[in-house]
Structure 1
């Protein structure tokens, strides 16, 4: 079943979806399990909007289930946080308010390939490492590791490459409230969740 996504929260713009995906940290890779319960792995993922790439431990049986299932959904979470009814100015007027949770997320669905070739695995690990080391003053590089050690580590993982067929974006950021309530919700976060505040401001500005 696709994610529940009322029109007020639906996000379809490709450039916004790509930004959200590329800013996401720890993601979820989900596929149908044999027992009827989904198989789920937490892992960082890299994407250009057309493919989603990552790797997992070879000891994790999920990769075999992924090969059998042939399809998967990659879930890219964004900032999220609790919104108290006390944040809304309208609550003081009519008390017609309840708690909610604001968040952003993108789901990428499509066929998935399992990668065991050592050269491709090294490329996957290198690209993901370079992405996350980019902000460091002294970035670590895969080539910093001894060749024999790196080879042994690559034997312990498998790569995953999901070809994106469907993207579903949801940005639940108080768009169903009036502007005074939305501003109250941002103030109510009290500087404790700046990433969510900025997401709410972008949604207000149409970005």
Structure 2
């Protein structure tokens, strides 16, 4: 028997839509299948959203908020070397073989303006945190920005490979390797002067 529609919030629907996006992109967001998955009738959906477009907008906003909250936790770590190590190891350990990714699935819909804006925002926020961290570790601004891009590209690449490789190396091994490769061999100090370019 379906649950009462009032037991589900708009956020529950947005999160269910995100799960569908991870599995099949925007095309997978459909009211009736989501209602079946959630164990409710379509009436629950219409109690919160007027149409599918509103649900997609809410799902993308939920994804952005989730990503921003995660970044804020790392940004609060004052030691940049520890911040970078924890960021890299946490992200790499979260990559699991054959587990769908919202980010990677959204790339298939990158021509949709809503998706382009959301992915661009998340990418830039992640790159900004990485670049800031590398600057705090003593790299000049241009090198810090370049290193941030390479590190982020590696993270996305690992996520991509994990989508098709059930025999991917254990996440602990990858996390340690990522930290070794992307932590610069400099002594970190928040108050150290940053070399000029």
Q: Same fold (TM over 0.5)?
A: no
So what's the TM-score if we normalise by structure 1? 0.25
Q: TM-score by structure 2 length?
A: 0.26
Name the structure with the higher strand share.
1
Query: Whose helix fraction is larger, Structure 1's or Structure 2's?
Result: 2
